[in-house]
Amino acid sequence: MSEVISSTAMEKPAMSAYNRHLVVCTGPRCTQGESQSLFDSLGEKFKAAGIDKGALRVKRTRTSCFATCKSGPLIAVQPDGVWYYNVTAANMDRIIREHLIGGAPVEDLIYHRSGNCA
Ligand code: FES
């Protein structure tokens, strides 16, 4: 049985404010390495689009598997609950422009939305 440690004894992690959270699967089963390249490009892409800070700031994170291992790169945009496939560099530019800045999800690249089974 593990010891219970009060959280008051621990330092609370810090996180800057963000508008949306973009999660990239960089696992081995949905692409052949393109996802890591996509993730590595996001810092510059977000900066160029002006969404690396301010009211539209997008936080980015990697994960190892969404359990939907097909037709990647795959990303999820939260809290919108929108999951994209085939996120090539050009498609990522569309998602940044139309969704992350414009607020309109890119319908033809969506493979799932939270709250439905489509
Ligand atoms: S490895 Fe990417 S979804 Fe499973």
For residue 103, the model assigns a pLDDT of 97
pLDDT band at 118 (very low <50, low <70, confident <90, very high): very low
Predicted confidence (pLDDT) per residue in 1-43, tens digit:
677 777 888 899 999 999 999 999 999 999 988 999 999 999 9
All structural domains of the chain with their residue ranges: 17-113
> Which residues have any ligand 1 atom within 6 Å of their CB?
25, 27-30, 65-69, 72, 74
Q: Which stretch of DSSP H or E encloses residue 111? A: strand 110-113
Q: Which residues pair with 83 in a beta bridge?
A: 76, 112
Q: What are phi and psi of 27, to 5 degrees?
A: -70, 170
Query: Which of 30, 39, 70 has most ligand 1 atoms within 8 Å of CB, for mutation?
Result: 30
- Residue 107 CA: distances (Å) to CA of 42, 43, 51, 64, 83: 21, 24, 21, 25, 10
> Which CATH architecture group holds 17-113?
3-Layer(aba) Sandwich (3.40)
